[in-house]
Amino acid sequence: MKQRRLQNKKVIVTGASSGIGESIVWQIAASGGIPLLIARSTAKMQEQCDKIKQTFNTDCYYYTCDLSNKNEMMRTADLLLQDHPIIDGLINNAGFGKFQLVEEISMQDVESMFQVNVISLIHFTKMLLPHFQQNQQGHIVNIASQAGKISTPKSAVYAATKHAVIGFTNSLRMETAKDHIFVTAVNLGPVDTNFFTQADPKGAYKKNVGRYMLDPNRVANRVTRNLFKQKREINMPGWMEAGSRLYHVFPSMMEKLLETQFNKK
């Protein structure tokens, strides 16, 4: 269903070729917006855009970019600003995780996670921020995680990256309020996507939490419905958000519970 708020609005989505990003792209197009896709897979994005154009009779653009590569990211940002005089929104969705104990995880994986999940997100936002400030409008949505609020065993590094994303998002929101730019953090529990192929190759975590996993289409619908609204946070699922609040009130008790439950990863 089309939404007046999104009509002809151009919204960048990183990590757009699969998972949550792919679902968000479709929801934007279905709501009357114009998605601008960024991902590494040219073939997947081209196929998506072709289907979107046929289904919704709307424009769709895609840009091949590895966000861990600084030069590619700068080139892509320049291309976006050249091709589109007005960009209305940015959804920083690209990211990955690996569930391993600190003693086991390689420093290469640590650095890669921080590069993609944090540094690239900040850098890409920084390159597009002057555009939003000049236009005195825009919406920046950062896909974070409930892991950024509740740390669990075997996700120390991933949780650290998402704590960083939430901290960055909260500060940016205050800095840009004067420019009429909305900034939203999306904190999700486990979502049923290919994220776990890399995060948990053995499948133990997905097996244990499978019944709690969020549907990516439901997540995308919630994100899209809140675009261009002054929404501080989107938290899903609700019971996990309640758990994060308990964590801050009863940290020792919650850590005992989490230690038992999440060492199953």
Q: Residue 119 has what pLDDT? A: 97
Q: Residue 237 has what pLDDT? A: 79
Q: Residue 199 has what pLDDT? A: 54
pTM: 0.88
Dihedral of the alpha carbons of 107, 108, 110, 112, in degrees to the nearest 10: 160
Catalytic annotation on 61? no
- Domain boundary assignment for the chain: 4-262
Distance of CA 214 to the CA centre of its chain: 14
Neighbour count for residue 104 (Cβ, 10 Å) = 9
Q: Which residue has the tokens 């949505």?
A: 141
Q: Residue 187 has what pLDDT? A: 96
* Structure-token pair, residue 212: 């709690």
Q: What is the CATH number of domain 4-262?
A: 3.40.50.720
- For every one of its 265 residues, what pLDDT tens digit does the chain have, with 9 covering 90 and above? 667 889 999 999 999 999 999 999 999 999 999 999 999 999 999 999 999 999 999 999 999 999 999 999 999 999 999 999 999 999 999 999 998 999 999 999 999 999 999 999 999 999 999 999 999 999 999 999 998 988 888 899 999 999 999 999 999 999 999 999 999 999 998 887 666 556 555 665 555 555 667 899 999 999 999 999 999 999 997 666 665 665 666 566 656 665 565 555 5
The candidate with the shortest Cα–Cα distance to 36, out of 101, 128, 164, 146, is 128
Strand order in 10-14's β-sheet? 61-64, 34-39, 10-14, 89-92, 138-143, 181-188, 233-236
Neighbour count for residue 193 (Cβ, 10 Å) = 18
Q: Residue 190 has what pLDDT? A: 84
CB 73 within 8 A of CB 124: yes
Q: Which of 158, 205, 212, 247 is catalytic?
A: 158
